[in-house]
Structures are given as structure tokens and as C-alpha cells.
Amino acid sequence: MIALEALRKDQNNPQLKAAFEVHKADLGFGLLLKKYVADVRQATPAIMDQAAWSTIPNVAPMFWSFRVMVALGFSFLLLFGLALWFSLKNTFAEKRWLLKWALYWIPMPWLAAELGWVVAEYGRQPWTIYGILPTHLSTSSLTPTSIAMSLTGFVLFYTGLLVVEMFLMVKYAKMGPSSPGTGRYALEKPARAELKGAH
């Protein structure tokens, strides 16, 4: 890093270029020190050890996030396979356990996606670009107030969508499968009206 700073001031110096070439592969690791000390030349062996240990993530969150995500993926395949099989046999509606499983599993794709995000984002710490740019040097310049306002806006917007979706799902579930009046149910109401007229 010292060679890089000197090279910025004197870009045509061959000695500085040579020194930079020798150490450029370790530049990102040198930048890790800036989280613990403003001037990397003042870094002590203890600070270097602290920076080095910061590159090793906690194993438990990574281990379980990945495995639960993969397990959910296989459960989706099994659920879809069973649903297809029983649909082809025209016995899907009789399998209450499968219908309950399908209902309870509605939020699971979201959970799997979030766990995948944990694996990707937590697993790459402390790097934004491995070996080049640490995350503490690539953070946003937005103020905490701006972040809080935008986050609050997203939470309110998606909470509103969730409320509307749950209201519609419960409403049409209570009305039964014929409520949309589509497919084979499209003729149901006219047929009933004709039967009443015949009586």
C-alpha cells in the first residue's frame, strides 16, 4: 500500500512500479488493516492477526443455512413429484396430508431464497471482491436516516401486499374451487339457473 501511494505521486518511477508489482497481489489484504488502524504502517503483529482472523467466517451459520436451503430444494422436488403423480391418478384431492403440505410450504421458497442470500453474503465476508476490496471500504455513503426511510417504505409496501394477498387467499378459499367461475365451473351457475327454471 505504501508503494501504491508513492506510485500515485510518481507514476513513471520504475523502482516504485517494481515494488508495487511484487506486492500487488496482497493489496486487498493490506486494506483489511484499515479497519483496525488508519495508517497501515502503524499496524502491530496483534492487529495483523486480528485482520487475518476476520477473514474466517463463523462456521455454524454457513453450515446450517446451506443445508437447510438444499433440504428445502429437495422437498420442493418431492412435493411437485407427488402432486403430479396423484394429479395424474386423479386422487390429489383425496390426499389431505399432501394438500396440507402444499399449503404449509407456500412460504418455504422465500425462506430458501433468504438462506441462499445468507450463504452468499455472510460467506464472502469480509470481502466485497475477494482479495481486492474489503466490505468496510465499499459501504454506502448514505446517512442512517436515508437508509431507515427507504427500508421503512419497502417494509410498509410489501406488508400491504401481504395483507391484500392473505385477504384474497382466505376469501376465495372459503368460497371454494368454483368461485372463479372458470373451466368446468363456468357452466355451473347457468346450469343451476336452468334447473330452477324447470321446476
Residues 26 and 46 in one domain: yes
| Cα angle value 76/81/86 (rounded, 5°) | 130
More confident residue, 21 or 67: 67
Contacts 24+ apart (CB under 8 A), 28-31: 28/127, 28/129, 28/130, 28/131, 28/132, 28/133, 28/134, 29/131, 30/1, 31/1, 31/133, 31/134, 31/137
Residues 6 and 74 in one domain: no
Residues 69 and 109 in one domain: yes
> Looking at the 3D structure of the chain, how many domains does it have?
3
pLDDT average, residue stretch 110-114: 96
Residues 125 and 68 in one domain: yes
Given this model, what pLDDT does residue 185 score?
A: 64
Residues 68 and 48 in one domain: no
Residues 46 and 26 in one domain: yes
Q: Cβ–Cβ contacts within 10 Å for residue 140, how many? A: 7
Q: Tell me the residue range of the domain where 39 lies.
A: 2-53
Residues 67 and 134 in one domain: yes
Residues 115 and 150 in one domain: no
13-26 residue pLDDT tens: 787 777 777 777 77
pLDDT band at 131 (very low <50, low <70, confident <90, very high): confident
pLDDT average, residue stretch 65-93: 95
40-66 residue pLDDT tens: 778 888 988 888 888 888 889 999 999
Q: Cβ–Cβ contacts within 10 Å for residue 6, how many? A: 15
Report residue 128: phi and psi, to 5°. -85, -45
pLDDT band at 133 (very low <50, low <70, confident <90, very high): confident
Residues 105 and 167 in one domain: no
Residues 89 and 100 in one domain: yes
User: Is pLDDT above 70 for 173?
Assistant: yes
Sign of CA dihedral 110, 115, 117, 120: negative
